[in-house]
Chain A
Amino acid sequence: MELGIFVAFALLAVASAIVVVAHRNPVYSTLSLVVTLVSTAAMFVLLGAPFIAALQILIYTGAIVVLFLFVIMLLNVRREAFAPAANQGQRWGAALAGAAFAGLLLVMLWRAYAGVPAQPLAADLVSLTGLARSLFTRYMLPFQIIGLLLLAAVTAATVLARRPDAVDFGDRGEGAGGEP
């Protein structure tokens, strides 16, 4: 039963991931990404990490991918008529990243088959309390650094988006009238 559900979601994740990369219409790609993320969330639940699953749905499918779609629709990205002429650097980068990922997978498979014991998925690793404790003790510094990184990204985005001569709709008086 559990294996069947796992296989179903695993196949769904792989199939939708292929659609993400292969589909010509960016809106379909993004919506397939939603399916991929939801099926991996289901796999997290089956692996006994429901908190990570809930976070994945809440943050990735609920907010980040919505932003992707939002940008695609605002920029009115059209269906790709033919395969884009990829620039050479991008191609090499993709090949390198793919090789690195395949290497990681191979190492994991080798460890599994060579019988190297994996760390058990104990409650103090995946439970809410356990996660919170390790996040605020052992991983305190990386946690703070990620916060700083996000702050820097937000500041940079604000600076880039805000031209000095732009009209700030937010601070306009109520009586200014007209369409914003």
Chain B
Amino acid sequence: MSFDVLATAAKIGLWLGILLNVTPVMAWVERRGSALIQDRPGPNRLGPFGIFQSLADGVKFLFKETFPPAGADRLLYLLAPVLSLVPALTTYVVIPFGPTLEIRGHQVPLIVAPADTGVLLLLGLASLGVYSLIMAGYSSNNKFSLMGAIRASAQMISYELALTLAVVAVLLPAGSLRLDDVVSYQQGPLWLGILPRWNVFPQLVGFMVFLIAAFAETNRLPFDLPEAESELVAGYHTEYGGMRFAMFFMGEYMAMAALAALGATLYFGGWSLPGIDLSGWGGAALGLGVLLFKIGLFMWFFVWVRWSFPRFRYDQLMRLGWKVLLPVAIANLIAVAAMTLAGWL
């Protein structure tokens, strides 16, 4: 086996290790966080601060009996939860997580796939996530599941446009689709001599569009209409239980982590720190820590918003997506293009 294959396998292994731990950690953070916001103790039985609660939940998921409902389309029903993990487990490949290392004479960039298509690949793979929801809703032979799936697909298509336009505006000043180029652009001289050269400062409007669209793309509250429990029981995963439900659960948290990593990389400098040269093994470890810290802040923000805002009505959701976010994103793109041409960015 060649050195490159081994290096790529090691990088994939590192990401998988991180991503597969996102769900148990976030399930605990979500429950303790909601308890904190609602002024109640939350899970506190197993371990200090209930930290092993996710372990108990996992055991419960594994031992719970699961069965397809009567009249279900068995093939699609069984395929849907597995497919929900596919975009979550592939999008990280274009996220850079450290400087280029030199190992035994080989240059190893800390990014799994340094492809020129970069962020387009990420957006394309992320957009495949909607199929698992549609298949789950269609195959369950349940009208609530079907309605949840239809809502999910309409919502994801609507907000994908605004999300993509916001991302394009970030790529303009960097002049590249590659996220490692976006990161190195953000390591440039400070804005006005004090602010780090992060895209969030000149493109605050674009960042707001990205953030709102990210909530809608991951079906998180205040946009969790596809699984609005007061109307649709549990939406597209109404008929799922046990480990199959857990897969949807994992898919949702890993998709959140992927969008958080994208947001941290596009707007907050990714793994880099302003004014500090991260290189070598120490720099790589610190860079990974910095990226994970930024992802963690995004994830906490997801939790914080979920337990602070009520759910939108469906027509409000569509109006916000098409009549507010999309025009704002287009205006932002034109403004950023003009500023880039003028040489301000």
Contact = CB atoms under 8 A, between A and B. Distances in A.
A55 B121 CA distance: 8
A63 B157 CA distance: 6
Contact of B149 (A58, A73, A128): A73
Interface of A: 27, 31, 34, 50-51, 53-55, 57-58, 61-63, 66-67, 69-70, 73-74, 127-128, 169-170, 172, 180
B154 interface: yes
A73 B146 contact: yes
Contacts of B157: 63, 66-67, 70
B127 A55 contact: no
Given A54-B120, A70-B153, A73-B150, 6 more contacts: A31-B76, A51-B116, A54-B124, A61-B128, A66-B131, A70-B154
B66 interface: no
B313 interface: yes
B262 to A, nearest CB: 14
A87 B146 CA distance: 33
Secondary structure of the A contact surface, majority rule: helix
10 contacts: A55-B124, A63-B160, A66-B131, A66-B153, A70-B157, A73-B134, A170-B315, A170-B319, A170-B323, A180-B313
A53 B125 CA distance: 11
Given A54-B117, A127-B116, A62 B323 contact: no
Secondary structure of the B contact surface, majority rule: helix
B115 A58 contact: no
B315 A31 contact: no
Contacts of A54: 117, 120-121, 124
A27 B140 CA distance: 14
A53 B303 CA distance: 35
A62 B160 contact: yes
A122 to B, nearest CB: 15
Which 10 A-B pairs have CB atoms at the shortest separation, nearest pair first?
A62-B127, A57-B124, A58-B124, A54-B120, A54-B117, A169-B315, A170-B319, A50-B117, A180-B315, A54-B121
A46 to B, nearest CB: 14
B150 A128 contact: no
A53 B113 CA distance: 15
Nearest to A180: B315
Contacts of A62: 123-124, 127-128, 130, 160
Nearest to B150: A73
B135 interface: yes
A58 B314 CA distance: 25
Interface in B292-341: 313-315, 318-319, 323
Contacts of A172: 315
B253 interface: no
Contacts of B130: 62, 66
Contact of A58 (B76, B120, B146): B120
B138 interface: yes
B177 interface: yes
A27 B138 contact: yes
A66 B157 CA distance: 8
B315 to A, nearest CB: 4
A58 B123 contact: yes
Contacts of B154: 70
B117 to A, nearest CB: 4
Interface in B245-267: none
Given A170-B323, A180-B315, A31 B124 contact: no
B161 to A, nearest CB: 9
B323 A58 contact: no
A70 B153 CA distance: 7
Contacts of A53: 117
Contacts of A58: 120, 123-124, 127
